[in-house]
Amino acid sequence: MGHFHHFDTLALHAGQTVDDEFGARATPIYQTTSYVFPDTDTASSIFNLERGGHAYSRITNPTVAVLEQRIAALEGGSAAVCTSSGMAATFCAITAILSQGDHIVASSQMYGGNISLMKNTLPRFGITTTFVDPADIEGFRAAIQDNTRLIYGELIGNPGLDILDLDAIGAISKEHHIPFMVDATFNTPYLCRCLDHGANITIHSVTKWMGGHGVAIGGVIVDGGNFDWGATDRYPTITEPYAPFSGLNLWDEFGPSAFAMRIRAEAMRDIGPSMSPMNAFLLLQGLETLSLRMNKHLSNTKMLLEFLSNHEQVSWVSHPDLPSHRSHKLAQKYLPKGAGSIISFGVKGGRDAGKAFIENVGLASHLANVGDAKTLVIHPATTTHSRIDAEALIAAGITEDMVRLSVGLEDVRDIEADFENGFRAAKKFVGD
């Protein structure tokens, strides 16, 4: 497959070799725990990472491997490891290189799960984080400490939709020789290949647009193969002998895939957040239509931005494709096809109006996921962020009238008609 390199072809074919036994056109679902070894020597060489091969589905699985190779190809990375969820991907990627006493510089605008991981969970293991406004490039530089081992951000931030200046932060990462890890869930490789802009590792919740149908939870870590782990002694998990594998040196053995191999050898083996083969199959199926779906997500987003911007009951609309957004220029640079299909907007009438809107739309589903084929809405002030006070809401970039919208693939006329029902119900709160 090496000679194909265009996106849609890779999305359909990368990673799959038609099985030699029967020639099945679709990837078989290897719903199995284990693999019968032909002999003990082969078994021991697979166990010692001396040769490829499958031993146990917690560590590798042939169906999951197709998804891993396909995503690596789409991202332009050297290797990928799939995990049972997007959060598992973030956790495994960070802990593969950071240990007690290490430090992260991260964007302050991220998914709540990522913030919580860095703010609450990782400090329990001696890993601390300094959060920086994604628009404050110099702030990233200033936050770097002697023990900083990772720079982390989301290309399209959550919930303010600020765009990370990848090239600028990539340059800082290079200058200080610290790997730059980007959560690319909201953009997918179809809208932007972050590895081409200074990122060294990307993370995805494959649950979202990559899978695209809201049927399976999964995550992936893509090794960019573009970071020189051996240039310093700061990354001993990659460059020093790994005792459990008879002192194997991952950097010497696997070079550009050493980081992915560390995750495979440690996180998959000792922690075990593996993706199930059935989920991999469903997510592979989703990936086959990624560009088609993204184009439709984006064209619907464009039409809804216009609809909402012109609606008398909408107090504000936020999306990086709007010139009014503070990241508009960065969106044009990194996301020329469109800056994703998440829109946030304010319903005139405040908290009660936002709530009434959500309760009176029917086609749009009220739930916490994003990136489904179906249109999803949520009112953060009464749900995801209901336990924090008004002041903290502002700090998180959330207003009481805010509705977050994940634009689906329905006919946009039906989405608009549905929203009119919500606006009608919200109308009585206007002027309160």
Partner 1 sequence: MICPPKGGIIAAHNTRKITMGFSTRQIHAGVTPDPLTGSILTPIYQTTTYVQPSVDGYLSKGYSYSRSGNPTVRALELKLTDLEGGVDASCFGTGMAAVQAVMLAFLNAGDHAIISDVAYGGTYRLCKQVLSRFGVEFSFVDGSDLKAVAAAVRDNTRLFLTETPANPTMKCSDIAGISKIARAAGAVHAVDNTFLTPYYQRPLELDADVSIHSTTKYMDGHNATVGGAVISARQEHADAVRFIQNSTGSIMSPQVAWLTLQGCKTMSLRMDAQSANAMAIAEYLEAHAKVKQVCYPGLKSFAQYELASRQASGYGAMLWFEVKGGLVAGKKLMDNIKVFSLAENLGSVESLITHPVTMTHAAVEKAERERVGIIDGLVRVSVGLEDVEDLIEALDKALAQV
Tell me if the bond preceding 159 is cis, omega within 30° of 0. Answer: yes
Token pair 């995750």 is found at 263
Q: According to the binding rule CB under 8 A, does residue 36 interact with partner 1?
A: yes
Binding residues for partner 1, total number by CB under 8 A: 27
Q: Are 69 and 80 in contact (CB under 8 A)?
A: yes
Q: According to the binding rule CB under 8 A, does residue 39 interact with partner 1?
A: no
Return the range that interacts with partner 1 (CB under 8 A); candidates 18-26, 89-97, 195-203, 267-275: 18-26
Q: How far is the CB of 56 from partner 1 (least distance, A)?
A: 11
Going by C-beta distance under 8 Å and a sequence separation of 6 or more, which residues neighbour residue 189?
7, 71, 74, 75, 76, 202
Q: According to the binding rule CB under 8 A, does residue 38 interact with partner 1?
A: yes
46 backbone dihedrals φ, ψ, rounded to 5°? -70, -45
Q: According to the binding rule CB under 8 A, does residue 392 interact with partner 1?
A: no
126: left (phi over 0), alpha (psi -120 to 50) or beta: left
Exactly one of 8, 12, 37, 416 binds partner 1 (CB under 8 A); that residue is 37
Q: Are 202 and 77 in contact (CB under 8 A)?
A: yes
The interface mask with partner 1, positions 51-70, x = CB under 8 A, is --xx-------xx-------
Binders in 357-386 for partner 1, by CB under 8 A: none
Exactly one of 7, 8, 28, 388 binds partner 1 (CB under 8 A); that residue is 28
Return the range that interacts with partner 1 (CB under 8 A); candidates 36-44, 106-114, 163-171, 242-250: 36-44
Q: According to the binding rule CB under 8 A, does residue 316 interact with partner 1?
A: no
Q: According to the binding rule CB under 8 A, does residue 310 interact with partner 1?
A: no
DSSP string, 162-197: PBP-HHHHHHHHHHHT--EEEE-TTTHHHH--GGGG
Q: According to the binding rule CB under 8 A, does residue 30 interact with partner 1?
A: yes
273: left (phi over 0), alpha (psi -120 to 50) or beta: beta
The interface mask with partner 1, positions 270-289, x = CB under 8 A, is --------x--x--------
Strand 103-107 and strand 148-154: the pairing is: parallel
225, containing H or E segment: none
Binders in 238-267 for partner 1, by CB under 8 A: none
Binding footprint of partner 1 on the chain (CB under 8 A): 18-38, 53-54, 62-63, 278, 281
